[in-house]
Structure formats: C-alpha cells, structure tokens
Amino acid sequence: MPDPWQLAQFAAALLAVDPEGAGGVVVRAAAGPVRQRWLALLRQWLPADCPWRMVPLDIPDSRLLGGLDLAATLAMGRPQAERGLLATADGGVVVLSMAERLSPATAGRIAAAIDTHEVQVEREGLALRAPSRFGVVMLDEGLDEDERAPAALRERVAFEVRLDDIRINEAGEALFAAEETARARWLLSDVTSTDELLTALNEIALRCGIQSLRAPILATRVARASAALHGRVCPDESDLMLAASLVLGHRATRLPVNGEPDTTPAMETEPSPPPNHDASHTDTGETPPASAQQPLAMQDRVLAAIATALGPEVLASLALRGQVRGAAGSAGKSGQQHSGGARGRPMGTRRGLPKRGERLDLVATLYAAAPWQAWRRKEAADTARSFFIAREDLRSRRYRQRSRTVTLFVVDASGSSALHRLAEAKGAVELLLAECYVRRDQVALIAFRGTAAETLLPPTRSLARARRSLAALPGGGGTPLAAAIDAAAELAAQVQRSRATPLVVFFTDGRANLARDGSQGRSAGEADATAAARQYLQRGFGTLFIDTSPRPHPRAEEFAHQLGARYLALPHADAGSLARLVQHSSEGFSPR
C-alpha cells in the first residue's frame, strides 16, 4: 500500500482528473512547505487554463454568488449584473482558506452550488442563473477534532488528506506528469463502471459503518478516475482498493474483521430458507465455484487495504469515535456572542443610520441606491446632481464578537465549611482553575469568612497566582453569605461593563449565620442572604451553586434556585462533571 505522501498525491491527481465528480478534498494541515508542495502538485496536474479561485473567510454573498455591478450600473444608469466567484470558477477549483471557521451560511451556499451545478441569485432587482461546476479544496487548520470544516461540505467531497505528520524531506518527486493527468481527463468519458463495482462499494461502506449514500457514489467516480489515470476503460480491483482507501477509509466508524457479516442495527437479516432436498442439490461436500467466492474475497482484500491505509492509531480509535464526538469539548469558544459595534467578525449590514458605535457601510449604501438612480433623476428637480442617496439606502456594518469569560469563584471559608469540606472545595476549585486556563478564561477569587467577603484575586489569567491565593486561604469564623453575594454581584457587574461574560461559581453549604450589619444569628443571616439573592437574581448573571455540605440538604438547593443558579452537590460532583458543567455554562449561560 502507498505511504501517506503517495496517498496524498493520488488524491491530488484523481481530483485533477475529475474535479466535479470527486467533489473536492479536505486538507488537514497547518500552513507550511508540505501543504504548499501538495497544492503546487495539484495546480501542476490541472489544465493550464483551469480557474483557481481563492475564497476569503468572510466573503459576502454579493461577491460569492454575484449581484449588482456597482461601477457598471453607475456608468450605464441602469442595473448591471456581475458574476460571482462561484460562477467564474466554473470548470475549475475553489480553495477555501481556514475552512474550519467557515460560517454555516456560506458553506450552505457552496453546497447548494455543488448539488445543482449552478448559481442562482435573486436580489437587488436582478435574477441570475449561471453554470458552476467545480471542485473544492478545503484547507482545514483546526487543532482538535471538533474544529473541522463544515459537515455539509465534507459530506460532498471524496478525499481527506492529512499532511501534518509528513516532513518536507518525505515529500518526494511527483508520481505523475501533467501529460498523464491530461490523457486521463480525455479518457475519462470512455471509462464505464459496472453494477458489480457499485454493489461492492456499497457493501464495503456498510461493513465500515458508513450510512451516507454519497460515499459509495463518490468512490465509484474516483474508481473511474483511477482507471483513466492508469489507461484502463474499466476499473479493476486495484482501482477499487484505491477508491475505497481514499474515499471510505476516513469515513469509517468501525472496521469489521474480514468475513464478518454486516451487523448494522437498521438491517434485519432474513430467516434462512429451508434446505432443498432435491437430488440435484444434495450436499456432496464440494465447495462452491470460485465465482461465488470471488466477491467476498475481493471485499475482504479491499477492507485490508483500508486498514493498511488508516494505520493502527486510527483503527484503535474507530470503536470510540462516536463517544469521542459526543464528549468533544469546545476549547477556545468561551463567552457569549455580541453583535454590533466596530470590531469582530463581519455579519452583514443593517438598514438604517449607524448607531451604538457602528460604521456606515458606504459600498452597501451605494449598492442599495444604484438601482433607483434613473427613477430619481426623473423625479428630482436638481438635475445637476449625478447620484441620489435617500435615507432608506443607508446601511450600517454589523459585527459579531465573542467576549471573553471571567469565572468568579466564591468560596466559603467559614468555620463550618473548614470543619467539613474546605479541603475538598479547594481541590475542586483548583480543577476548575485548570479548565479555565485551558480555555484562556480569566478567573477571580472571592473568599468569605468571619464578618466580611474579600476579593483575594481580581480577574487574571495567571494560573499560578490563583493557586497561591487558594492555597493560602485560611478557614474559620462565621458565614457572611449576604456579603459574599453582594461582593460577587459587584465584581460580576464590573466584568460585564468591560464587555466580558461573568460566570459566578459559589462553593458553600448555603447556611448563613451572619447578617449584613455584622450581627450574628442564623435567622437574621438567612433573611439577609435571601434578600441579597433576590437582588442578585435580577442581574441575570450565569451562576453555579456547588453544595459543600457533608450531606446535600434541600435548603441549599432551594437557595440555589433563589439565586437563579444551577445546583450541584459536591459529594456527587466528580472532577469530570464539574469541569463539563463549568465549560458548558461558560459557552452561553441562560439563568434558570
């Protein structure tokens, strides 16, 4: 079986032979010389006049699909259409940089063009339809499995190549010459595929746990391209192996042992028919003819080729793939999204005058006004003006920005907590501090004991500093819970004013015995704590309440609801559940 670099070259060559049929490729690799070498080979094997279009990450629909040609419209005095990037890529290749960050809307429009082989635009008084047949090269620089190119596009492309583990000195000479891929493109129309080929690929896909119908169809097209590349007019077993390895291998969710029957849950086996006692079919101990064994043997050989191409590490993870996907985190996605303002990721325009720091989008304003110029010139008394802009034409830029998250730990260091659970609470807080550090969140630490609550650590990203403050936290004294709630609310409000998202995590048993004025008494302390909780609830902060009492008490859970917090008892909160709860809450908390 070819090595990884040779497989990557096969994917590039087959894509160059049939860009439209193969759909495209996902290139999982960071920017570097190996990726540049692979892209250079692909361009070398494509026709010299093949369109090669780079798609920016935040391309607007007017540029992607087409729309009003502003310059021509202003010159001609009537609406003029402009072809979009996908239409100009007809017969060529579209390259998506940083595909893992592509918006779902843009991915959906590209997927629709792949399915229909044309671009349809109805906007700004224009109705456009243009042919658009192309292959997609998605440059995926995601670090984790949850940072992937959009699934809608991955489903429609045949190949996925991984280049991160290939050194530049391993990226040797090209396997093919440009003349060979050109000859294969000429021969491709004469290559025929048989029903047996499609049946075999469908069976292999099912045995690999692939439920998508697109996968065997794409594999069939790749097998035809492989046959054309090797000068054959009918795919043979080697073409089948190559197509299955490149198209079905990275989609596999399981890899059964050779000869294992398909055990897909959706498929129920028919009961075997009763034995035929006809004399002509009597069991004589003879083996079936070779023609009956050949399809199964071929599929087993193809499965072995897939296993060789994937490698032991990937095969070991196939059984856990579903669990890994379900439990995948969202590192780096902390904080809530805010729209508006003058910074962040563009998310289109808004009709009307700019407000709240927004900027006027001059180009969008001119696009909105251009179709009306002929009519406005007729209606206007001022014939000296060359261009008319009305109030309804104004457009403002809109941006989407994900704010940082600041996790505020409010730790009960009173005498009752120190007696029972302070050490465990410190351990849980330290675990969550590490989780916040991984997500690049800021953390703050508030401790309450004695007669007041004290901010031991203002918002910071320094994990070492937070750990030192936590380790030096003494225990003892009363439980001024009302003061702790007030301090947490004040600090959370400061965080909110800095356009960050606060998440408050209380570690306490919820049993206050000190009032706001410093007087002792459980009844007065709980009354003030309840009043502080009502005021806190109105602020709408995301809140978690970790009950540190030796045994979970209904009073603590009731108090958590008064705060609008999610409740979790520390005896039942292991390290993993605590980390997942804080991570999930930091991605967009909605109070209860």
Strand stretches in 30-107, DSSP E: 52-55, 66-68, 81-83, 92-96
- Do 397 and 415 share a domain, yes or no? no
- Do 374 and 498 share a domain, yes or no? no
**Highest mean pLDDT out of 256-265, 266-275, 564-573:** 564-573
Look at residue 471 and tell me whether its pLDDT is greater than 80.
no
Q: What is the pLDDT of residues 158-187, one digit of tens each?
A: 999 988 888 888 887 889 999 999 999 999
- Do 355 and 435 share a domain, yes or no? no
DSSP string, 473-505: ----S---HHHHHHHHHHHHHHHHHTT-EEEEE
Q: What is the CATH number of the domain that holds 315?
A: 1.10.8
- Do 19 and 77 share a domain, yes or no? yes
- Please report whether residue 330 resides in a domain: no
Look at residue 296 and tell me whether its pLDDT is greater than 70.
no
Residue 504's domain comprises 406-586
- Do 397 and 420 share a domain, yes or no? no
Residue 365 pLDDT = 82
- Do 447 and 578 share a domain, yes or no? yes
DSSP string, 322-334: HHHHHH---TT--
* Average pLDDT, rounded, for the chain: 76
- Do 393 and 419 share a domain, yes or no? no
- Do 368 and 483 share a domain, yes or no? no
Average pLDDT over residues 126-148: 84
Does the CA dihedral 59-65-67-71 come out positive or negative?
A: positive
Cα(34)–Cα(560) distance, integer angstroms: 54
- Do 502 and 546 share a domain, yes or no? yes
- Do 199 and 309 share a domain, yes or no? yes
Q: What is the pLDDT of residues 93-103, one digit of tens each?
A: 999 988 888 88
Q: What is the CATH number of the domain that holds 36?
A: 3.40.50.300
- Do 539 and 416 share a domain, yes or no? yes
Look at residue 312 and tell me whether its pLDDT is greater than 70.
no
Residue 306 pLDDT = 58
- Please report whether residue 284 resides in a domain: no
Q: What is the CATH number of the domain that holds 517?
A: 3.40.50.410
- Please report whether residue 287 resides in a domain: no
Percent of the chain topping pLDDT 90: 22
- Collapsed DSSP state (helix, strand, coil) of residue 302: helix
Alpha helices in 340-480, H assignment, sequence order: 362-369, 373-379, 415-420, 422-438, 463-471
Residue 343 pLDDT = 53
Q: Which of 358, 386, 402 is the last residue of a domain?
A: 402
The residues that bridge with 504 in the sheet, in sequence order, are: 408, 543
- Please report whether residue 326 resides in a domain: no
- Please report whether residue 183 resides in a domain: no
Q: How many domains does the chain divide into?
A: 4
Residue 90 pLDDT = 92
Residues 244 and 206 sit within 8 Å (Cβ to Cβ): no
- Do 122 and 217 share a domain, yes or no? no
pTM above 0.85, yes or no: no
Q: What is the pLDDT of residues 313-366, one digit of tens each?
A: 444 444 444 333 333 333 334 444 545 555 556 666 777 777 766 777 777 787
Look at residue 194 and tell me whether its pLDDT is greater than 60.
yes
